């Protein structure tokens, strides 16, 4: 595209922004404009090509090279008309976030010139220089390189001047080096298993989708203040900072009006999201000052995961324009509510039935109870694994920290469904359940569900995994996490359980039991066996921790040990039998997770050490010097007794400062020694554990004394912005 044309396009898109943001502008006018969705495909692809692509998207059929060339050509034309000059394979390595390498749409034309080029081959597959992405040793052991491959189920989109093509990232030997690969496999595993179970109820069901609607919490902070906090810049959270005199005690932020500067940011964020087909719907303040939430309408799980990752990067760009920084860390401020993601998850059929919503008749309700009870078993059996799927160094500050969900996975069902489940178990025989009807069955208990369940105000905010009427809400997910991690664990756990369920029911049918009777027998057994995972009480209480321990739920709080759940015999069996991850992949991925954990704490320890030694101690010493000067002058001018009286307080503070400084210095030195010891540990697991047990406690201890100094030292001398400045947006 000529430079002039590019400028014109750019100008047009700016005008577009102004118009779209004007009051009354219709979202439908620009929704999905920068996405190569079905609408745009229709315009840029031939009928035949379109048909093949849709088959690839909807049925997972392979695309022929020739067709891929046509798709690439159409995609390039569309993208260039919107000002794109580059393309990239957009993928999610095992670190959080996305990775991309941008290539221009050009190639040699063979005559010494250049032509715009983008072939099917470049669309379908690339070989990024992946040596710098974590692989847990897979690439070293097997092959030196990995490749990215197009995921047609998530449409390509344009960000700035770049066409982004969602891809998976795999090693040459086929092991997943990303989250998307196993996520897609888990989606297909749960589809197969759930479709099989649906056959008991409705033979028309051919496919089951998993859906995800995330709610994303985040903090905003003024960019200039952020820049003056090296800890925020380097670790994403404040490693020091005394409570503000006012923080969230009044809870006035939650219901308060959105500050106008923030509202402008949100409006533009929504505009950018809509152009990229991210269907954001709600926005509001959260509990803490400067904390907000954005949530879309739920979508198919793979797409929803991509949209969440995209949202996180769009947020950063938009924030920049409003002189904000977005904090996605789970706990940017001590003593202030943390941020999570609430992953609303459900299963639905291609016939339009939500399998987690009570139905219109007894048969649909038996299906509903079948799915709910199997999910209870899946979560019960795999509660340790699900916890591992959300565990990270950053989320550890939130979980179990007397807010947000505790570090124990339990399920809240609400009083009505709980009562129904209990009743079902007690209704032993088949007498009150199997009664004559056209299908041979009438289920009085299950007939009642729609009525008793219209009101779903029954909520429990302390539960990490709550049933909310027509879906489960996995609330323990961290705000900075890739949603794929938790969703793939959940999908896989449920897939494994549904398979087991079907096998058990089929066995009873083979023994001569009627279908409904067999289903009931196993459903009852499932409800009984998963009883320990159901908890409707206060998840923050200490009694719950004791109770959970007795129930045999996983209560581990140390992240490196929580991660062990990925490589337990049971998890290995689950992941391999469902075909989602191999044993090699599971182990390799844990190596990456332990390494990531270590690095996070290591960086925090270094930053805190540096700040303590070259910011805090020098400032405190300078202030101490002022006080000493003052005291000395007082002593020079007044007689001893009077001087002691006047300078008394100075002397107390001088000693106080000395105590804090000594403590900080000693602890920083000890922390450095502890790091040296940990760093030579070979095993990633043991090293992470050493960082967890031996190093992270220093962060808290040192911080305590720094925060005390913050209260004492002259405000003018204190170079770091304080909580009261960071937290209140003006
Ligand atoms: P809350 O009361 O928890 O704030 P919202 O009404 O804001 O709930 O919805 C939270 C999220 O749940 C939204 O993304 C919404 O689209 C999603 N959601 C609603 N129904 C379903 C469903 N059946 N499956 C998955 N997600 C759903
Ligand atoms: Mg919610």
Give the pLDDT band of residue 636 (cuts 50, 70, 90). very high
CA of 336 to the centre of ligand 1 (A): 25
What DSSP line would sit under 206-245, residue for residue?
Answer: --EEEEEEEEEEEEEEEHHHHHT-HHHHHHSS-S--PPPS
Is there a domain that residue 299 lies in? yes
Question: Is the per-residue pLDDT at 402 higher than 60?
Answer: no
**Span 343-364, mean pLDDT?**
91
pLDDT, tens digit, 9 for 90 and up, residues 676-726: 999 999 999 999 999 999 999 999 999 999 999 999 999 999 999 999 999
Task: State residue 3's pLDDT score.
Answer: 47
State the total domains in the chain: 3
Q: What is the domain range of residue 76?
A: 31-177
Residues 172 and 212 reside in one and the same domain: no
Cβ-defined contacts of 499-505 (< 8 Å, 24+): 499/193, 499/196, 499/577, 499/578, 501/197, 501/370, 501/374, 501/377, 501/526, 502/193, 502/196, 502/197, 505/200
Residues 376 and 489 reside in one and the same domain: yes
CA of 212 to the centre of ligand 1 (A): 8
Mutate to test the pocket of ligand 1, among 287, 295, 458, 463 (most ligand atoms within 8 A of CB): 295
Q: Which residue's CA is minimally distant from atom 4 of ligand 1?
A: 215
SS3 string of 359-370? CCCHHHHHHHHH
CA of 213 to the centre of ligand 1 (A): 6
Mutate to test the pocket of ligand 1, among 210, 213, 486 (most ligand atoms within 8 A of CB): 213
CA of 343 to the centre of ligand 2 (A): 8
| Ligand 1 atom nearest residue 346's Cα | 24
CA distance 63 to 50: 11
Last residue of a domain, one of 177, 199, 232: 177
**Which tokens is 347 given?**
């299963």
Least confident range of 36-50, 264-278, 444-458: 444-458
- 720 SS3 class: coil
Residue 370 CB-density burial (10 A; 0-12 exposed, 13-18 middle, 19+ buried): buried
**Which tokens is 683 given?**
């095993």
Q: Which residue's CA is minimally distant from atom 11 of ligand 1?
A: 213
For the chain, what's the residue count?
730
Residues 90 and 230 reside in one and the same domain: no
| Ligand 1 atom nearest residue 354's Cα | 23
Question: Is the per-residue pLDDT at 431 higher than 90?
Answer: no
Residue 569 CB-density burial (10 A; 0-12 exposed, 13-18 middle, 19+ buried): exposed
Pairing between strand 86-90 and 162-171? parallel
Most confident of 4-8, 91-95, 219-223, 286-290: 219-223
Mutate to test the pocket of ligand 1, among 216, 285, 298 (most ligand atoms within 8 A of CB): 298
Residues 656 and 625 reside in one and the same domain: yes
Task: State residue 285's pLDDT score.
Answer: 78
Question: Is the per-residue pLDDT at 93 higher than 90?
Answer: no
Torsion of CA 60, 65, 69, 74, to 10 degrees: -20
Task: State residue 487's pLDDT score.
Answer: 98
CA distance 144 to 117: 28
**Span 448-471, mean pLDDT?**
71
Residues 636 and 609 reside in one and the same domain: yes
CA atoms within 13 A on the CB side of 451: 7
Which ligand has the nearest atom to the CA of 352?
Answer: 1
pLDDT, tens digit, 9 for 90 and up, residues 219-263: 999 999 999 999 999 999 999 999 887 666 555 555 567 788 999
**Span 560-573, mean pLDDT?**
98
CA of 215 to the centre of ligand 2 (A): 7
Residues 508 and 630 reside in one and the same domain: no
Which residues share a beta bridge with 348?
209, 354
Q: The domain that contains 74 carries what CATH number?
A: 3.10.20.70
Our CA angle for 252, 255, 257, nearest 5°, is 95
| Ligand 1 atom nearest residue 344's Cα | 26
Question: Is the per-residue pLDDT at 633 higher than 60?
Answer: yes
Residue 421 near residue 473 (C-beta atoms within 8 A) = no
CA of 185 to the centre of ligand 1 (A): 24
Residues 609 and 656 reside in one and the same domain: yes
Is there a domain that residue 14 lies in? no
Residues 683 and 712 reside in one and the same domain: yes
CA distance 286 to 253: 7
| Ligand 1 atom nearest residue 356's Cα | 23
Q: The domain that contains 718 carries what CATH number?
A: 1.20.120.1560
Residues 127 and 203 reside in one and the same domain: no
CA of 473 to the centre of ligand 2 (A): 7
Is there a domain that residue 24 lies in? no
Residues 356 and 383 reside in one and the same domain: yes
Q: The domain that contains 565 carries what CATH number?
A: 3.30.590.10
CA of 431 to the centre of ligand 1 (A): 38
| Ligand 1 atom nearest residue 298's Cα | 16
Is there a domain that residue 9 lies in? no
Is there a domain that residue 587 lies in? no
CA distance 532 to 539: 14
Last residue of a domain, one of 177, 197, 226: 177
CA of 413 to the centre of ligand 1 (A): 16
Task: State residue 494's pLDDT score.
Answer: 98
| Ligand 1 atom nearest residue 214's Cα | 14
pLDDT, tens digit, 9 for 90 and up, residues 301-345: 999 999 999 999 999 999 999 999 999 999 999 988 899 999 999
Is there a domain that residue 623 lies in? yes
Last residue of a domain, one of 514, 546, 581: 581
Task: State residue 5's pLDDT score.
Answer: 41
Which ligand has the nearest atom to the CA of 307?
Answer: 1
Residues 173 and 196 reside in one and the same domain: no
Ligand 1 shell residues, CB under 6 Å: 211, 213, 215, 282, 295-298, 344-346, 354, 470-471
CA distance 444 to 432: 7
Tokens 């620009």 correspond to: 30
| Ligand 1 atom nearest residue 357's Cα | 23
Which ligand has the nearest atom to the CA of 469?
Answer: 1
CA of 1 to the centre of ligand 2 (A): 45
**Span 154-160, mean pLDDT?**
94
pLDDT, tens digit, 9 for 90 and up, residues 481-540: 999 999 999 999 999 999 999 999 999 999 999 998 899 999 999 999 999 999 988 888
Which ligand has the nearest atom to the CA of 457?
Answer: 1
Is there a domain that residue 192 lies in? yes
Residues 396 and 541 reside in one and the same domain: yes
Is there a domain that residue 371 lies in? yes
| Ligand 1 atom nearest residue 345's Cα | 25
Task: State residue 358's pLDDT score.
Answer: 84
pLDDT, tens digit, 9 for 90 and up, residues 51-60: 999 998 888 7
- Model pTM score: 0.92
pLDDT, tens digit, 9 for 90 and up, residues 575-606: 999 999 999 999 999 999 999 999 999 999 99
Q: Which of the pair, 461 or 572, is modelled with greater confidence? A: 572
């Amino acid at each position: 595209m000529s430079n002039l044309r590019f400028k014109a396009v750019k100008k047009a898109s700016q005008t577009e922004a102004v118009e779209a943001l004007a009051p009354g502008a219709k979202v439908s006018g620009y929704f999905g404009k920068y996405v190569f969705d079905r609408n745009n495909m229709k315009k840029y692809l031939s009928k035949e090509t379109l048909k093949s692509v849709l088959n690839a998207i909807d049925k997972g059929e392979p695309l022929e090279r020739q067709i891929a060339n046509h798709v690439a050509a159409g995609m390039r034309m569309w993208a260039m008309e919107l000002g794109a000059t580059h393309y990239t394979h957009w993928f999610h390595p095992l670190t959080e976030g996305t990775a991309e390498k941008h290539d221009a749409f050009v190639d040699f034309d063979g005559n010494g010139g250049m032509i715009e080029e983008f072939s099917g081959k470049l669309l379908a597959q690339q070989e990024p220089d992946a040596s710098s992405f974590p692989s847990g040793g897979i690439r070293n052991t097997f092959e030196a390189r990995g490749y990215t491959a197009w995921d047609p189920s998530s449409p390509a989109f344009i960000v700035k001047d770049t066409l982004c093509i969602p891809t998976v990232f795999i090693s040459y030997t086929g092991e997943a080096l990303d989250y998307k690969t196993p996520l897609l496999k888990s989606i297909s595993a749960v589809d197969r298993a759930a479709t099989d179970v649906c056959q008991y109820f409705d033979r028309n069901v051919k496919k089951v989708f998993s859906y995800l609607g995330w709610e994303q919490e985040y903090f905003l902070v003024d960019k200039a203040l952020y820049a003056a906090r090296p800890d925020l810049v380097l670790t994403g959270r404040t490693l020091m900072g005394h409570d503000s005199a006012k923080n969230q005690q009044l809870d006035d932020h939650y219901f308060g009006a959105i500050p106008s500067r923030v509202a402008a940011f949100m409006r533009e964020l929504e505009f950018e999201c809509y152009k990229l087909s991210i269907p954001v719907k709600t926005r509001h303040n959260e509990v803490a000052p400067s904390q907000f939430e954005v949530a879309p309408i739920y979508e198919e799980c793979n797409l929803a995961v991509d949209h969440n990752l995209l949202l996180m990067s769009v947020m950063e760009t938009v924030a920049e324009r409003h002189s904000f920084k977005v904090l996605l860390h789970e706990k940017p401020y001590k003593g202030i509510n943390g941020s999570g993601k609430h992953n609303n998850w459900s299963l639905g059929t291609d016939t339009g039935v939500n399998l987690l919503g009570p139905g219109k008749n007894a048969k649909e309700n038996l299906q509903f109870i079948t799915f709910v009870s199997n999910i209870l078993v899946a979560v019960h059996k795999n509660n340790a694994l699900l916890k591992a799927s959300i565990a990270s160094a950053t989320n550890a500050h939130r979980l179990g920290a007397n807010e947000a969900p505790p570090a124990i996975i339990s399920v809240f069902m609400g009083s009505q469904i709980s009562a129904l489940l209990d009743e079902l178990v007690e209704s032993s025989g088949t007498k009150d359940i199997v009664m004559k009807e056209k299908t041979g069955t009438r289920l009085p208990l299950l007939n009642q569900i729609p009525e008793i369940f219209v009101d779903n105000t029954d909520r429990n905010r302390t539960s990490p995994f709550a049933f909310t009427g027509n879906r489960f809400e996995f609330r323990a997910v961290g705000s900075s996490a890739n949603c794929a991690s938790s969703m793939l664990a959940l999908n896989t756990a449920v897939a494994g359980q549904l398979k087991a369920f079907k096998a058990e029911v089929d066995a009873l049918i083979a023994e001569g039991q009627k279908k409904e009777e067999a289903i009931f027998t196993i459903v009852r057994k499932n409800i009984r066996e998963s009883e320990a995972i159901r908890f409707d009480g206060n998840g923050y209480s200490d009694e719950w921790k004791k109770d959970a321990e007795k129930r045999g739920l996983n209560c581990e709080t140390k992240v490196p040990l929580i991660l062990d759940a990925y490589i337990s015999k049971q998890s290995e069996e689950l992941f391999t039998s469902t075909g989602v991850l191999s044993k090699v992949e599971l182990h390799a991925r844990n190596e990456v997770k332990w390494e990531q954990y270590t690095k996070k704490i290591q960086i925090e320890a270094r930053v805190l050490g540096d700040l303590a030694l070259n910011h805090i101690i020098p400032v405190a010493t300078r202030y101490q010097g002022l006080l000493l000067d003052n005291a000395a002058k007082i002593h020079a001018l007044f007689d001893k007794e009077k001087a002691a009286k006047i300078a008394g307080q100075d002397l107390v503070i001088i000693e106080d400062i000395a105590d804090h400084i000594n403590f900080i210095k000693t602890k920083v030195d000890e922390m450095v020694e502890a790091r040296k010891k940990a760093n030579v540990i070979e095993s990633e697991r043991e090293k992470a554990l050493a960082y967890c047990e031996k190093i992270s406690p220093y962060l808290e201890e040192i911080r305590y004394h720094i925060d005390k100094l913050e209260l004492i030292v002259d405000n003018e001398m204190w170079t770091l912005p304080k909580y009261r400045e960071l937290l209140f947006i003006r």
